[in-house]
Amino acid sequence: MEKLLEVKNLKTYFTLKSDRIGSRPEVVKAVNDLSFDVNKGEILGIVGESGCGKSTLGKTILKLNHKTEGEILFKGSEIFDLNDKDLKDLRRKMQMVFQDPFSSLNPRKKVGSLLAQPMQIHKLGTKEEIDAKIDEIMKEVGINPVYKGRFPHQFSGGQRQRIGIARALMLNPEFIICDEAVSALDVSIQAQVLNLLLDLHDKYKFTYIFIAHDLAVVEFISTRILVMYLGKIVETAEKKELVGNHFHPYTKALFDAFPATDPKGRDERATVLMGDVPSPINPPSGCYFHPRCPRAMDKCKLEYPPLKEVSPGHKVACWLHE
């Protein structure tokens, strides 16, 4: 399989302003030493609770954030080493779809000019070619091209998200990062947009990174899943393996916590994970999950476990697997 993206020991830290003179500034380790690959044509789902660094990771991969350390190789070249011109060329191939279709579209621009902008910025095509492309893409995402003279507020949330997807498609990208792309939508609309993303994947063989907090959505759309907790990968595997054979207590807790769509047996459900997600400013010692882990041992309090391969493609960071 061809690797499209390689992430090696990536760290993204943010330094907070110190609130007292002379005190040491606090550092948020949003992405803390991550390594993984994304293969061409796959849908990698990244799932985790708030503060786990999943969105920061997505932005860092597109160089919308700085990185503190590590490498991000897109088709073998480090994106942080590219000069402006090469980076601009590269950005044609990598696009992003955002969560909130209300704030990610400029309210003062008509849909037609919102969609024309990516091609104008990259100086691609004549006016007629751009127009034709807009019609084609709008049809592709299920919006009648006669509406291109409308403003974003004249569309519903689901239609706006389709416009956000259309904008990402205008430059024929190879790689799209969807950051909580369906979480602001009503469930009936969410299902439509998920189907659309899958249709586009089948037709154009895009590679997706699909970031979401909703395990059911990630489980449905992904081919491979990566579970994050406080800036670290706790477990990653092919979807079938992760769903059927997850090992990390946190992954298990996530699956258990997710409400089943069946009231039967709800009173005998597995125990609920106690405690809160700790602050990424002062993560606990040892394994970050140990204060909430039902199976924590002494060793877990002292040392962070390495991410180890337990079967081909299935990696877990947990001392229980020693």
Partner 1 sequence: MDKDAYSSRKLASDQNKDILLSMEDISVSFYTHRGIVKAVRNLNLQIKKGETLALVGESGCGKSVTAHTINQLVPMPPGKIESGKVIFEGRNLLDLDDKEIASLRGDRISMIFQEPMTSLNPVFRIGDQIADVFMAHHDIKKDEAMEKTVKLLELVKIPAPERRIKDYPHQLSGGMRQRAMIAMALASPEPGLLIADEPTTALDVTIQAQILRLINELKQDINMSVLLITHDMGVVAETADKVIVMYAGRKMEEADVYSLFENPSHPYTQGLLNSLPSNKKYTNATRLEAIKGTIPDLLTIGNECPFENRCPHAMTVCRESFPDKTELADGHSVWCYFVDGKGKE
Tokens of 63: 């160089």
**Cα–Cα distance for residue pair 155/234, rounded to 1 Å:** 40
Q: Does 260 bind partner 1 (CB under 8 A)?
A: yes
Q: Does 140 bind partner 1 (CB under 8 A)?
A: no
**Cα–Cα distance for residue pair 93/95, rounded to 1 Å:** 7
Window 147-186: contact mask with partner 1 (x via CB under 8 A): ---------xxxx--------------------------x
| Collapsed DSSP state (helix, strand, coil) of residue 137 | helix
Tell me the residue length of the chain.
322
Q: Does 16 bind partner 1 (CB under 8 A)?
A: no
Q: Does 259 bind partner 1 (CB under 8 A)?
A: yes
Q: Helices (DSSP H) in the chain: which residue ranges?
A: 54-61, 84-91, 111-121, 127-140, 157-169, 187-204, 215-221, 239-245, 249-257, 298-302
Provide the minimum distance between the beta carbon of 250 and partner 1 in the complex, in angstroms, as a whole number: 9
Q: Does 192 bind partner 1 (CB under 8 A)?
A: yes
Window 272-311: contact mask with partner 1 (x via CB under 8 A): xxx-xx----------------------------------
Binders of partner 1 in range 210-229 (CB under 8 A): 213-217, 219-221
Closest CA to 115 of 85, 136, 93, 87: 136
Question: Quick one: 145 or 157, whose CB is closer to partner 1?
Answer: 157
**Cα–Cα distance for residue pair 322/313, rounded to 1 Å:** 17
Using CB under 8 A as the criterion, which residues of the chain lie in contact with partner 1 when the complex forms? Answer: 49-50, 156-159, 186-192, 194-195, 198, 213-217, 219-221, 253-254, 256-264, 266, 272-274, 276-277
